[in-house]
A and B are shown apart, each in its own frame.
Chain A
Amino acid sequence: QKEVEQDPGPLSVPEGAIVSLNCTYSNSAFQYFMWYRQYSRKGPELLMYTYSSGNKEDGRFTAQVDKSSKYISLFIRDSQPSDSATYLCAMSEAYMRFGAGTRLTVKP
């Protein structure tokens, strides 16, 4: 069993939709939780960073962490075609572990 599980999709939504991306994990030692966005043939870039359980909002993006359920989510409101990318969850204790990534397409 992988330490971090992420549905690879692909996920296709119409412009303006609310998108929900999720990861589960098995290692209760993970303390820091991140979401990275990766455009095609580019390196990942940090989108959101959270430490504790609860919600963190940044513009159209909300990251949610539920440590008791070992579950993290990323919500994208009013999705745009420019949000089309692969979204990677990541978490760390000694070193970073990444999910496999979910490929998202937002259609105009």
Chain B
Amino acid sequence: NAGVTQTPKFQVLKTGQSMTLQCAQDMNHNSMYWYRQDPGMGLRLIYYSASEGTTDKGEVPNGYNVSRLNKREFSLRLESAAPSQTSVYFCASSEGPQGYYEQYFGPGTRLTVT
């Protein structure tokens, strides 16, 4: 089992460009999450999907959109990248609702917006 995989591992964008971060899990988990990690701020939840077909905003959703493509895949889209979106992005999944079940994290995507 690969667990949670993320692509790409690294990306550099110019301000205003768009991109999609891909995430897939092979653990048959119902819930999936996107976080960003910034120095001194810890992990902050951007969006989550409690189950296939549903998505909800987290703590810092502005500037992002998500798609739960199917049970395995959950993508994060930046429509018009800004330097404030420079961060490390982590995808995670869990068997059930967050807080009740362990979250498994991917290796992260390091994004720089210039």
A interface list, Cβ under 8 A from B:
4, 6, 8, 31-32, 41-46, 49, 88, 90, 92-93, 95-101
Contacts and interface: CB of A to CB of B under 8 A. Distances in A.
B64 to A, nearest CB: 15
B74 interface: no
Contact of A100 (B35, B41, B58, B59): B41
Secondary structure class of chain B's binding surface, majority of residues = strand
A44 B102 contact: no
26 contacts: A4-B42, A32-B100, A41-B108, A42-B108, A43-B4, A43-B90, A43-B107, A43-B108, A44-B105, A45-B105, A49-B102, A92-B98, A92-B99, A95-B48, A95-B59, A95-B99, A96-B43, A96-B45, A96-B98, A96-B103, A98-B35, A98-B42, A99-B42, A100-B40, A100-B42, A101-B42
Contacts of B105: 43-45
Contact of B102 (A6, A46, A100): A46
Interface in B88-114: 90, 92, 98-100, 102-108
A95 B42 contact: no
Contacts, number: 53
In this complex, the interface size class of chain B, counting residues with CB under 8 Å from chain A, is: 20 to 34
Interface of B: 4, 33, 35, 40-45, 48, 58-59, 90, 92, 98-100, 102-108
Given A43-B4, A43-B107, A45-B105, A88 B42 contact: yes
